[in-house]
């Protein structure tokens, strides 16, 4: 048995977004429903065609139930596995298995958050989390989670490999340059390396410009089997490889802060796809913090361990650089509503369909989507491709 | 085998750890089967799955594996060090290094454990015992 048998068996056939940036006066369920409706319509389907659901919430523990109820679904397949921001990349594999097994015919994967404008938001959730998700060996030290964890990883990477704050800043500047080409991006003002270095320090060595945005936003995508995908209205984006790896929850339990479980999820996803990093045209990495991009480029084989800082230097991942990374502007400059994994998926699909306008990567036929969750805790890699990549 | 944990029938490993800390001692677990130390305290060895865990005195000697500063306004408590410490026993834990500025803590610095009190609870903290290597 090998997951390679699933390669190309399912495709993403619709994507939708709603409430990007600030969704004043609307609830997270409302914008989730708008995004879900948009994704289903994009696929050329009706909501009644959806018989599978995958979703997760930062706050609600039984989230698939109110989502099903609200959307009027009675799904035959439900997945509400919550691994943090990587969830919506991770959801692709159980959805593919369910579709392949004939448990259902169309899976809707969706997420929404109004953490920026909601009256009950991230501050309140941060307050109750120590009770709902106890970490008695970390919380008493009052780390500012998650940023303290990523700062510890960045500090260790700098110590071990000589990575510099300027190289971290290159990641933020590249993301901003892509965002400037994306009308949907939340932050589009010019940003220079000096601006990142001079910004308010949040958790040494990370300044506020090394950190992702806090926005609202909802996203959704629809998956069906490949045979059906070919008869729908959009160009199918096939799932070629997918794998999830988890090595820890708490940052103090991470074996080596310079090596993430993306190494394992990447190796398994590449093996399923029969590809390597050299075969990838577009990269969408979960850049919650600037160090993420460097760690994931290394762990996913785009450069050697320790060389990520040099790899991103001199605008190498900015528009016109050697590798197109986070072309929507990323969590750093485009959008980051608590969990971002669905948005990297949507951007990769749009790139593979050739819909990205000024930021389009010409002729892109393969994309790597990499989701991260918790404190570098869960890693999910997906390799997507057009029919040219099958 | 199973009777090695809990040492006290009315307390699981978490309560034993914090009660021990409250009494002024820093003890961690060591697996009888694989010989490795375990932290944080668990009901089974995370290395080999054994339930045969003993409590042993920790050396308290460690090295800073990584460090950061939570930048906070003075009214929110001011800047705060967060460090990951590798103990000689081969386990890592989160703590903070006290007695020097939060941003003066260095990776590789030798540190020694102590027990402070915070919010009415014992808290394992570290002080510098040697320069960064």
CA distance A181 to A356: 9
Please determine, for residue A169, whether its predicted confidence score (pLDDT) is greater than 60: yes
Q: Which pLDDT belongs to residue A132?
A: 87
> Both ends of chain B: CA-CA distance in Å?
41
Whether the CB-CB separation of A222 and A92 falls below 8 Å is answered with no
Cβ contact, residue pair B94, A202, below 8 Å: no
Q: How many CB pairs under 8 A join A and B?
A: 73
Residues of chain B with C-beta less than 8 angstroms from the C-beta of A205: 68
- Answer yes or no: is pLDDT of B2 > 50: no
Q: Is the pLDDT of residue A236 over 90?
A: yes
Is the pLDDT at B7 greater than 70? The verdict is: no
The encoded tokens of residue A88 equal: 């919506």
pLDDT at site A130: 82
Put simply, the answer to whether B107 touches A156 (Cβ < 8 Å) is yes
CA distances from A342 to A105, A111, A132, A134, A359 (A): 20, 7, 25, 27, 19
From A238's Cα to the closest Cα of chain B, the distance in A is 38
Give B10's pLDDT tier (boundaries 50, 70, 90): confident
Say yes or no: B66 contacts chain A, CB-CB below 8 A.
Answer: yes
Question: What's the rounded Cα separation, in Å, for the pair A240 and A350?
Answer: 16
**Alpha helices by DSSP H, B5-130:** 13-22
Nearest residue of A to residue B108, measured between CA atoms: A159
pLDDT at B9: 63
Q: What are the structural domain ranges in chain B?
A: 2-57, 61-130
Site from A126, A135, A139, A142 to mutate, B interface, most B CB atoms within 10 angstroms = A142
CB spacing of A156 vs B70 below 8 angstroms: no
Q: Which residues of B touch A138 (CB under 8 A)?
A: 94
Which residues from chain A sit within 8 angstroms of residue B107, using beta carbons? 155-156, 159
pLDDT by residue (tens digit) across A24-35? Answer: 999 999 999 999
| Chain A closest-CA separation from residue B82 CA (Å) | 7
For residue A111, list its beta bridge partners: A219
A126 near B CB under 8 A: no
Query: CA-nearest residue of chain A to B67?
Result: A152
Residue A257 to residue B65, Cβ atoms within 8 A: yes
Which chain B residue's Cα is nearest to A250?
A: B94
Which residue does chain B place closest to A247, by CA atoms? B46
Closest by CA position to A36, among listed A222, A220, A223:
A220
Q: What is the pLDDT of residue A333?
A: 98
Say which residues have a Cβ less than 8 Å from residue A234's Cβ, sequence separation at least 6: A13, A14, A42, A43, A44, A353
Tell me the chain A residues in contact with residue B18 when contact means C-beta distances shorter than 8 Å.
136
Which residue segments constitute the domains of chain A, with CATH numbers given? 3-118+213-389 (3.40.47.10)
| Pairwise CB contact (< 8 Å): A136 & B67 | no
Burial of B8 (0-12, 13-18, 19+ CB in 10 A): exposed
Residues in chain B closer than 8 A to A136 (CB atoms): 14, 18, 40
**A56 with A111: CB under 8 angstroms?**
yes
Residues of A in contact with B92 (CB under 8 A): 252-253
Cα separation, A333 vs A172, in Å, equals 8
Name the helix (H) or strand (E) containing B64: strand B61-70
**B69/A contact by beta carbon, under 8 A:** yes
Mean pLDDT, chain A, integer: 97
pLDDT in tens, A178-200: 999 999 999 999 999 999 999 99
φ, ψ for residue B21, nearest 5 deg: -60, -40
Would you state the structure tokens that stand for residue A210, as one six-digit string? 């090394």
Predicted confidence (pLDDT) per residue in B84-116, tens digit: 999 999 999 999 999 999 999 999 999 999 999
Residue B1 confidence (pLDDT): 41
| pLDDT tens figures, A301-326 | 999 999 999 999 999 999 999 999 99
Cβ-Cβ contacts under 8 Å, B69 against chain A: 201, 203-204
Choose the weakest-confidence range: A122-126, A190-194, A338-342, B36-40.
A122-126
Nearest one of A369, A276, A384, A371 to A83, comparing CA atoms: A371
Identify the CATH class of B61-130. mainly beta
The interface predicted TM-score of the complex, written ipTM, equals 0.96
Give the H/E segment covering residue B29. Answer: strand B27-31
**In this predicted model, what pLDDT tens digit does every residue of A82-114 receive, in sequence order?**
999 999 999 999 999 999 999 999 999 999 999
- Distances in Å between the Cα of B14 and the Cα atoms of A177, A191, A208, B29 are 49, 47, 36, 11
* Residue B1, min C-alpha distance to chain A (Å): 26
| Whether B47 contacts chain A with CB within 8 A | no
A250 and B CB contact within 8 Å: yes
Q: Report whether pLDDT(A18) > 70.
A: yes
Mean pLDDT of A272-277: 98
Contact predicate A215/A337, CB 8 Å: yes
- Find chain A residues with C-beta within 8 A of B68's C-beta: 148, 151-152, 155, 203-205
Residue of A nearest to B125 (CA): A141
| A132 Cβ contact list (under 8 Å, min separation 6) | none
Would you tell me the crossing angle of helices A165-179 and A290-299 to the nearest 10 degrees? 100
Strand partners, A372: A379
SS3 B34: coil
The pLDDT, as a whole number, for residue B8 is 56
d(CA A273, CA A271): 5
B92 touches A at CB < 8 Å: yes
Residues 6+ apart with CB under 8 A from A158: A164, A165, A205
Does the distance separating the beta carbons of A200 and B80 come in below 8 Å? no
Residue of chain A whose alpha carbon sits nearest to that of B73: A202
């Amino acid at each position: 048995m090998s997951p390679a048998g699933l390669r190309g068996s399912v495709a993403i056939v619709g994507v939708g977004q709603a409430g990007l940036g600030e969704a004043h006066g609307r609830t997270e369920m409302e914008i989730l429903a708008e995004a879900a409706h948009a994704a289903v319509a994009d696929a050329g389907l009706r909501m009644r065609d959806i018989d599978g659901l995958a979703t997760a919430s930062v706050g609600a523990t039984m989230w698939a139930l109110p989502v099903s109820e609200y959307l009027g679904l009675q799904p035959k397949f439900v997945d509400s596995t919550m691994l943090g921001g990587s969830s919506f990349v991770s959801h692709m594999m159980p959805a593919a298995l369910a579709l392949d097994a004939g448990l259902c015919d169309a899976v809707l994967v969706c997420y929404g958050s109004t953490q920026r404008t909601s009256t009950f938001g991230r501050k309140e959730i941060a307050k109750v989390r120590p009770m709902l998700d106890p970490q008695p060996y970390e919380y008493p030290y009052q780390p500012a989670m998650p940023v303290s964890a990523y700062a510890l990883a960045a500090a260790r990477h700098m110590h071990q490999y000589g990575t510099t704050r300027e190289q971290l800043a290159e990641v933020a500047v590249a993301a901003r340059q892509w965002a400037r080409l994306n009308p949907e991006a939340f932050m589009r003002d010019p940003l220079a390396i000096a601006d990142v270095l001079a910004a308010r320090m949040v958790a040494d060595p990370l300044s506020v410009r090394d950190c992702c945005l806090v926005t609202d936003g909802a996203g959704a995508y629809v998956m069906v089997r490949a045979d059906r995908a070919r008869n729908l209205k959009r160009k199918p984006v096939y799932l070629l490889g997918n794998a999830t790896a988890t090595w820890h929850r708490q940052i103090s339990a991470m074996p080596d802060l310079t090596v993430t479980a993306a190494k394992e999820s990447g190796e398994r996803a590449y093996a399923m796809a029969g590809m390597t990093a050299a075969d990838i045209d577009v990269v969408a990495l979960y850049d919650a913090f600037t160090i993420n991009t460097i760690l994931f480029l290394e762990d996913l084989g785009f450069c050697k361990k320790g060389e990520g800082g040099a790899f991103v230097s001199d605008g190498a991942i900015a528009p016109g650089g050697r590798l197109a990374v986070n072309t929507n502007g990323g969590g750093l400059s485009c959008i980051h509503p608590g969990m971002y994994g669905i948005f990297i998926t949507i951007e990769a699909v749009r790139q593979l369909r050739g819909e990205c306008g000024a930021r389009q990567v010409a002729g892109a036929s393969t994309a790597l989507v990499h989701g991260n969750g918790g404190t570098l805790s869960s890693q999910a890699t997906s390799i997507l491709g057009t029919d040219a990549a099958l | 085998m199973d009777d090695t944990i809990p040492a006290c029938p009315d307390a699981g490993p978490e309560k034993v750890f914090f009660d021990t800390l409250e009494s002024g001692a820093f003890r961690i677990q060591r697996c009888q089967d694989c010989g490795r130390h375990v932290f944080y305290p668990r009901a089974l060895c995370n290395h080999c799955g054994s339930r045969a865990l003993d409590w042993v005195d920790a050396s308290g000697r460690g090295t800073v594996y990584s460090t950061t500063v939570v930048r906070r306004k003075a009214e929110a408590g001011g800047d705060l060090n967060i460090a990951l410490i590798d103990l000689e026993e081969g386990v890592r834990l989160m703590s903070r290094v006290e007695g020097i500025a939060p941003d003066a803590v260095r990776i590789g610095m030798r540190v020694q454990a102590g027990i402070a009190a915070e919010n009415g609870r014992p808290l394992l903290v570290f002080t510098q015992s040697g320069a960064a290597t």
